[in-house]
Amino acid sequence: MTMILDFNTADVEPGRGFTPLPPGEYKVVVQDAEGPIQTSDGNGSYLKIKLRVLEGEYKDRVLFDNFNLWRAGSSDKDAVTIRIAQAKLRDLCLAVGRSHIKDTTELLNRPLIASAKIRDGGNYGLRNEIVTYKAINGGTTLDVVSTQQSGGKMAWE
């Protein structure tokens, strides 16, 4: 089937390609969280989060992190994988001022610091990996003010 696009390359700027962010700390918010998503090997599921950088040279760039919280197996490797994911999720929750969450919406739109490094993603090339999460403002986290109460802006804008 033919699809008419009327597309002219002269009207579009060249793509920048993908390059990971340099290693460092970034002020971010959790923009989206979805899961459980089945792993490619079918042996478990994970929570995927999307983080948006809030300021600086890389403002509005996106970072991703996966938490392998569910495994089908009962091996020591599966247990270690789950413990690592739970510890990382714990750090994320505490960084946004939540010690107990019932669903992922409680993580959204709350500022925090994410430390990223670059790792080799094999066939996918270089990519960022989140190493740690921590609260901003010396260990305390600001609650996000309703956008209606703050003139359409988030508390940190």
In this prediction, residue 149 carries a pLDDT of 40
Q: What is the dihedral of CA 156, 98, 49, 70, to 10 degrees?
A: 180
C-alpha to C-alpha distance for 57 and 104, rounded to whole angstroms = 28
pTM over 0.85: no
- Provide block-wise average pLDDT over 10 residues at a time, the chain (157 residues): 80 84 97 92 92 96 94 84 93 94 93 96 91 80 39 45
In this prediction, residue 150 carries a pLDDT of 45
In this prediction, residue 144 carries a pLDDT of 39
Cβ neighbours around 133 below 10 Å, total: 22
In this prediction, residue 29 carries a pLDDT of 97
> Nearest 5°: phi and psi at 44?
180, -175
Query: In the chain, where are the structural domains located?
Result: 19-134
